[in-house]
Chain A
Amino acid sequence: MKQILPQGVGATEFADALQAFRKVVGNEFVYTGEALSGYADPYSIVADDDAHAASAAVAPGSAEQVQAILRAANQYGVPLWPVSCGKNLAYGAAAPRMAGTVVLDLKRMNRILEVSEEDGYALVEPGVSYYDLYNHIQAKGYKLWLDVPDPGWGSVLGNALEHGVGYTPYGDHLAMQCGMEVALPTGELVRTGMGALPDSNTWQLFKYGFGPYLDGMFSQSNFGVVTKMGIWLMPEPPGYRPYMISFQREEDLEQVVDILRPLKVGMVIQNAATIRSLLLVAAVNATRSQYTDKAGPLPDSILRRIMADQDIGMWNIYGALYGPPPVMDTLWTVIRDSFSKVPGAKFYFLEDRKRENDLLIGRADAMRGVPRLSEFSFINWTGGGGHIGFSPVSPIRGKEAMKQYTMVRDRLHEYGFDYMSIFAIGWRELHHVVELLFDRRDPAIKHKAEDVFRLMVREAAAAGYGEYRTHLSFMDDIAATYGWNDHALMKLHQTIKDAVDPKGILAPGKSGIWPARYRRSRP
């Protein structure tokens, strides 16, 4: 495996930096050569396989070691790319934005420092996965639920920092974060919120402390390495009832979204409910070749066959009720009556979905915080394993949802891809997460996927839709769309970057934020 040095760093400085890292963590936790294969982007969409290649990786075991590595990186000018569990798969996994960057792998920092059953929180290090925290809670018998995203092997801390979401009422992970410890790029350690008060006993209880609220600044950014984070956990409710509602027609999406908005904003729908498209649900149990060997958009006859085979709709809501049974009964009455206005709507509880691997079974676990990997099944639809998420945000309005749906569907069909998506309902917004599936071994398909993705970014921005998260290869594209007032926000990001990271060593290019040293010649 060839080694790609970071731009602007000579071989001698690089070797000296690795030697300094070895002094901090020991030889066994500095990786080069073949040991770097685990840091490659498993779904790289761009033609250049080296575009996001790491030059080395270093795995500290403590915040003190992180500080020491940052100081050494400053001394030698070597850029670092922090990752927690490295499982941000559809967005680049553990690979760095800029080729040659050294991955700062925080996987060894995997201690669950505290869980308070009484107050409902955990304090964790970056390497703690959802599986780790879930197993710990189960082993201790705490009456607490965590909130998990679809794949359960990711980092609790990393997912919150990337603005990830889950599916219980605590689904907005960054909103449920409380208190951070952060190593700044120059090596100083700070604690945010109440954590700045020596001997504080409210670090994980009150987010804001005194003065400016800074925690958000360390999310999707390159302003610091978060070494500890508090996360609120949901007390186990006295009752739980997952449900599914299917809708038969494409055009039902508009009415469904308009019904959903007041139910969600008014908290009748308690959790982060999702509307899933036909093929995304179908792909959990079937493959495309079981229905056709022809390329191109699936005809209506096949779509109807899939719906009948799996007893699913063109659109499918997955949600859950939480609370004492009388409360759940009342909420369900309102929800059922509201959606009954959509002709052909069908309602299901878990006991109605007997088929092995039915998606509601997996969703039932996800919506009560049990980590799984079930959602990966959809990659079998076309085979080839690659997928990236195109994730524009809109108001929770039926017309907006239909506009986004038709825009994206038509483009994907034009380029030969199937439309598969989730509309995730937040507090006031609709995340339209479109899964673009491609064969990661087929350069021609990858090229098409890259082209259509960039086109959709531009078209979405022109229509007023911005992405909330993206793959490494598109960070500059997305950042450029947030350009109001002559890119005033990016200028502010750059001002902060230059202040906290004067040598520009931390995560160059993250979210389109480049340090001064690479701003003019960014790769």
Chain B
Amino acid sequence: MSGSGITRRDVLATGVIVTAALAIGARAAAEAPAAHIVDIMTFYDPRFPQARSLARTLPRASALLGVGGDPSLLVAQLADRRERAGLRLQGVTTETIPFCLEQYIRHDRDVRFESRRLNRDLFAWSLDFASYTP
């Protein structure tokens, strides 16, 4: 596989990507009522070396969680609306994760989702859940 040895071109490309990742993160944060977001989970795809460093640039990214291309566990954890209240999921991953999250929540009116393609493989995305209203 490719991926070994970082070139000047990669560094320049990464600069552009970081800017894009920061932009999406900052915009999502600005639009979210801060009081509602009490917990943030940040994901990255360990198969892509860039993904980890880019995920670190997302707002309030602390501990990073590795996730490959399989969205099964992530989506399954979102079933309980009470548990997801005030939660932000964000990350830099391949497209499967944001695509499935977007499809999963597409009828929910109390969530905000954003996604942006960074390069051929990676997407920066964020998903904010509002407070729980029974």
Q: Roughly how many angstroms separate A311 CA and B76 CA in the complex, as a whole number?
A: 29
Q: Roughly how many angstroms separate A384 CA and B94 CA in the complex, as a whole number?
A: 10
- Does any Cβ of A come within 8 Å of B132's Cβ? no
* Residues in B whose Cβ lies below 8 Å from that of A153: 75, 103-104
Return the CB mask of A366-392 against B: 1 if under 8 Å, else 0.
000000111011011001110000000
Are B103 and A42 touching (Cβ within 8 A)?
yes
For the residues of B in contact with A, the DSSP-based class is loop
Return the CB mask of B91-132 against A: 1 if under 8 Å, else 0.
000111001100110110100000001001100000000000
- Does any Cβ of A come within 8 Å of B72's Cβ? yes
* Residues in A whose Cβ lies below 8 Å from that of B79: 131, 135
Q: Which of A87, A89, A309, A377 meets B96, CB within 8 Å?
A: A377
Q: Roughly how many angstroms separate A38 CA and B96 CA in the complex, as a whole number?
A: 18
- Does any Cβ of A come within 8 Å of B1's Cβ? yes
Q: Which of A35, A286, A287, A373 meets B71, CB within 8 Å?
A: A373
* Residues in B whose Cβ lies below 8 Å from that of A38: 106-107
Q: Which of A289, A357, A385 meets B70, CB within 8 Å?
A: A357
List 5 interface pairs A-B (beta carbons < 8 Å), by A numbering.
A289-B121, A362-B70, A376-B100, A380-B96, A384-B95
* Residues in B whose Cβ lies below 8 Å from that of A285: 47, 68-69
Are A289 and B75 touching (Cβ within 8 A)?
no
Q: Which of A35, A289, A356 meets B68, CB within 8 Å?
A: A356
Q: Roughly how many angstroms separate A135 CA and B80 CA in the complex, as a whole number?
A: 12
Q: Roughly how many angstroms separate A493 CA and B127 CA in the complex, as a whole number?
A: 45
Given contacts A42-B103, A290-B2, are A379 and B70 in contact (CB under 8 A)?
Answer: no
Residues of B at the A interface (CB closer than 8 Å) are: 1-3, 47, 68-72, 75-76, 79, 94-96, 99-100, 103-104, 106-107, 109, 117, 120-121
Are A290 and B99 touching (Cβ within 8 A)?
no
Q: Roughly how many angstroms separate A87 CA and B107 CA in the complex, as a whole number?
A: 12
B109 (CB) vs chain A CBs: closest residue? A35
A37 (CB) vs chain B CBs: closest residue? B106
Given contacts A87-B103, A287-B121, A385-B95, are A380 and B69 in contact (CB under 8 A)?
Answer: yes
Give the distance to chain A from B43, nearest Cβ to Cβ, in Å. Answer: 14
Q: Which of A25-68 contact B (CB under 8 A)?
A: 35, 37-38, 42
* Residues in A whose Cβ lies below 8 Å from that of B103: 42, 87, 89, 153
* Residues in B whose Cβ lies below 8 Å from that of A373: 70-72, 75, 96, 100
* Residues in B whose Cβ lies below 8 Å from that of A290: 1-3, 121
Are B75 and A291 touching (Cβ within 8 A)?
no
- Does any Cβ of B come within 8 Å of A461's Cβ? no
- Does any Cβ of B come within 8 Å of A432's Cβ? no
- Does any Cβ of B come within 8 Å of A20's Cβ? no
Are A287 and B94 touching (Cβ within 8 A)?
yes
Interface centre among A291, A309, A373, A377 (most CB of B within 10 A): A373
Give the distance to chain A from B117, nearest Cβ to Cβ, in Å. Answer: 7
Given contacts A37-B106, A376-B71, are A383 and B121 in contact (CB under 8 A)?
Answer: yes
Are A289 and B69 touching (Cβ within 8 A)?
no
- Does any Cβ of B come within 8 Å of A475's Cβ? no
Give the distance to chain B from A227, nearest Cβ to Cβ, in Å. Answer: 20
* Residues in A whose Cβ lies below 8 Å from that of B68: 285, 356-357, 377
Q: Roughly how many angstroms separate A411 CA and B23 CA in the complex, as a whole number?
A: 41
- Does any Cβ of B come within 8 Å of A497's Cβ? no
Give the distance to chain B from A458, nearest Cβ to Cβ, in Å. Answer: 31
A284 (CB) vs chain B CBs: closest residue? B69
Are B70 and A374 touching (Cβ within 8 A)?
yes
- Does any Cβ of B come within 8 Å of A107's Cβ? yes
Interface centre among B3, B75, B120 (most CB of A within 10 A): B120
B69 (CB) vs chain A CBs: closest residue? A377
* Residues in A whose Cβ lies below 8 Å from that of B107: 38, 107
Q: Which of B3, B47, B71, B120 meets A383, CB within 8 Å?
A: B120
Given contacts A309-B1, A379-B95, A383-B95, are A287 and B120 in contact (CB under 8 A)?
Answer: yes
Given contacts A38-B107, A131-B79, A376-B100, are A286 and B1 in contact (CB under 8 A)?
Answer: yes
Q: Which of B71, B96, B117, B120 meets A289, CB within 8 Å?
A: B120
